[in-house]
């Protein structure tokens, strides 16, 4: 073998990619050729010295930025689905007035009466008595909540969905409504109603009752879709108290592998 | 099990819509990728931006992943393009071929100099003085654990050319290191 042939194999020698036979050929050659030996020695020395440069860990912001970007990308993908028009949504709330139980018709009549009273109050230009207006407003809110709670208790899944939708528009939900929503999340037989309940509870997450309920419910849910929705909720609100329940969920043997991965990613995000 | 899934399977899932699986690929590869850019540019801030850009491009070009070559080969291909685009933006007035031969500037604060050994500082300076093209091929083979065959695929050249470049790069680096240290290499 010529010096040229041997030198061409130097790069393979450096990364340890030579066969036993090639290695022996090289050793024989450099034993007899001082020039090749010197060159290989200096190449090896530099190659080894390159190892003194340590691997540097990036700042944690890199990870945060990546997950934010991934989340945004996922949301953008989700937004491509058609959205329900606002007007359509409002129509669906009022559908019980025409088709539902007389109790709903009465409730809605009262609701409209209060709305009418407030509107009339403003139109006639009455001044003063702000306490009365706020009382009326509260009563409207409370009517809405009562209606939502009663809808959540209906045998028809679509009625219950309406109940969830109505509760979303409540400004200050009372504990009764939150309990009803949590109960729906835990016991409702219909997965769509349960998913809607998760979304509704997301809006009220700053209520202590919701935080507790969410952490507890994770272990009782069996549907991967609901589990993923709950993990999303917990991660989005950075609910540290739910970390234990997430860890327990990951340990569950029957857990769907995708949900497991999702829960693990969620844990990492909360930990950041 | 998710952990046993190969990079290729993961990336195929990402391509087919399970974009959340990119997180696993990110966790596996972002540190080596960050170090690749750090050794090319000498700046952590720029390197972090470039890593972010690479994963952004992976998401946007996920449909083009064919699964024929290793995921890392594909990823470093995107990484190289990202770096080239960054150089273009940085110095639009300088022709690209001249930038390739430009040595990068690495400045260490006194604290950083204390933290690192004298050897590491010298080697960092020497590597920074090596022209970009040679530095890149050396980094890919020495630090990124890519085989010469994969680097050839990445650069679109023959495997023999890659080996010749590596050989040349080490020799030149040796000379620069020798000059900087004012002593012997070994």
* Chain B residue nearest residue A62, CA to CA: B48
Last residue of a domain, one of A145, A170, A204: A204
CATH number of domain containing B113: 1.10.10.10
Cβ contact A46:B177 at 8 Å: yes
Q: Measured between beta carbons, which residues in chain A are less than 8 angstroms from residue B1?
A: 257
- Mean pLDDT is lowest, of A28-42, B53-67, B78-92, for B78-92
Give the Cβ contact number of residue A145 at 10 Å: 21
pLDDT classification of B146: cutoffs 50, 70, 90: very high
Least confident of A63-67, A263-267, B93-97, B164-168: B93-97
CA distance B110 to chain A (A): 17
Task: Kindly determine whether residue A70 and residue B22, on different chains, have CB atoms separated by under 8 Å.
Answer: yes
pLDDT at A46 exceeding the cut of 80: yes
Together in a domain, B131 and B41: no
pLDDT of residue A128: 52
The reply to whether B27 and B90 lie within a common domain is: yes
Choose one of B47, B66, B101: the last residue of a domain.
B101
Q: Given pLDDT bands bounded at 50, 70 and 90, which one contains residue A202?
A: confident
Residue A220 falls inside a structural domain: no
Among residues of chain A, what percentage have pLDDT more than 70? 86
Report the pLDDT averaged over residues A50-62.
90
Which residues have CB under 8 Å from B1's CB, separation 6+?
A: A257
Q: Cα–Cα distance between A97 and B43 in angstroms, integer?
A: 66
CB of A202 less than 8 A from some CB of B:
no
Is pLDDT above 70 for B125? Answer: yes
pLDDT value of position A36: 93
User: To the nearest whole number, what is the mean pLDDT of chain A?
Assistant: 81
The candidate with the shortest Cα–Cα distance to A145, out of A177, A97, A108, is: A177
Residue of chain B with shortest Cα separation from A255: B1
Q: How confident is the model at residue B70 (pLDDT cuts 50, 70, 90)?
A: confident
- In this prediction the ipTM stands at 0.83
pLDDT (tens digit, 9 = 90+) per residue, A235-271? 877 777 778 888 888 888 888 888 888 888 888 877 7
Residues of B in contact with A257 (CB under 8 A): 1-2
> Does residue B111 register a pLDDT over 70?
no
Using a CB–CB cutoff of 8 Å, tell me whether A49 touches chain B: yes
A window 205-264, beta carbon within 8 A of B: 257-258, 260-262
| Domain coverage including residue B45 | 1-101
Residue B6 sits in the same domain as residue B90 = yes
Contact between B143 and A12 using a beta-carbon 8 Å cutoff: no
pLDDT at residue B105 in the model: 47
Whole domain around residue A44: which residue ranges? 3-52
Greatest C-alpha distance within chain A: 112
Nearest to A73 by CA among B7, B15, B60: B60
Instruction: Look at residue A165 and tell me if it is in a domain.
Output: yes
Give the CATH number of the domain where residue B40 resides: 1.10.1740.10
Q: Which of A78-87, B86-95, B173-182 has the lowest mean pLDDT?
A: A78-87
């Amino acid at each position: 073998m010529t010096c040229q042939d041997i030198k061409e194999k130097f790069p393979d020698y450096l990364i340890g990619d030579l066969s036993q036979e090639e290695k022996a050929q090289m050793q024989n050659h450099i034993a007899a050729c001082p020039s090749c030996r010197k060159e290989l020695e200096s190449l090896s020395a530099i190659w080894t010295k390159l190892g003194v440069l340590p691997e540097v860990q990036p700042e944690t912001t890199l990870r945060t930025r990546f997950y934010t970007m991934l989340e945004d990308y996922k949301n953008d993908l989700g937004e491509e689905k058609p959205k329900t028009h606002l007007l359509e949504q409002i129509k669906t709330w009022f559908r019980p007035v025409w088709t539902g139980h007389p109790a709903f018709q009465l409730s809605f009549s009262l609701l409209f009466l209060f709305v009418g009273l407030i509107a009339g109050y403003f139109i006639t230009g009455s001044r003063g008595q702000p306490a009365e207006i706020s009382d009326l407003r509260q009563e409207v809110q409370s009517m809405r909540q009562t209606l939502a709670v009663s809808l959540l208790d209906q045998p028809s899944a679509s009625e219950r969905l309406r109940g969830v939708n109505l509760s979303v528009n409540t400004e200050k939900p009372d504990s009764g409504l939150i309990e009803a929503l949590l109960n729906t999340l835990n016991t409702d037989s219909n997965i769509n109603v349960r998913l809607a309940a998760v979304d509704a509870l997301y809006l009220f997450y700053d209520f202590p009752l919701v935080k507790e309920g969410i952490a507890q419910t994770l272990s009782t849910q069996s549907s991967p879709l609901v589990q993923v929705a709950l993990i999303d909720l917990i991660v989005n609100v950075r609910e540290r108290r739910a970390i234990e329940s997430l860890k327990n969920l990951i340990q569950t043997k029957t857990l769907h592998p995708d949900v497991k991965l999702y829960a693990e990613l969620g844990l990492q995000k909360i930990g950041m | 099990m998710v952990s046993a899934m190969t990079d290729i399977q993961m990336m195929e899932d990402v391509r087919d819509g399970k974009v959340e699986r990119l997180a696993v690929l990110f966790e596996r590869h972002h540190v080596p990728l960050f170090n690749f850019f750090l050794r090319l540019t000498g700046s952590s801030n720029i390197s972090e931006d470039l890593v972010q850009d690479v994963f952004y491009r992976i998401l946007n070009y996920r449909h083009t992943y064919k699964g024929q070559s290793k995921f890392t080969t594909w990823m470093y291909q995107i990484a190289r393009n990202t770096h080239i685009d960054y150089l273009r933006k940085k110095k639009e007035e300088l022709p690209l071929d001249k930038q390739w031969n430009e040595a990068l500037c690495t400045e260490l604060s006194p604290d950083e100099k204390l933290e690192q050994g004298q050897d590491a500082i010298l080697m960092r300076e020497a590597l920074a003085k090596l022209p970009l093209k040679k530095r890149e091929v050396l980094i890919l083979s020495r630090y990124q654990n890519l085989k010469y065959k994969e680097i050839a695929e990445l650069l679109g050249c023959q495997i023999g050319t890659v080996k010749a470049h590596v050989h040349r790069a080490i020799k030149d680096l040796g000379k620069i290191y020798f000059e900087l240290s004012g002593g012997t290499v070994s």
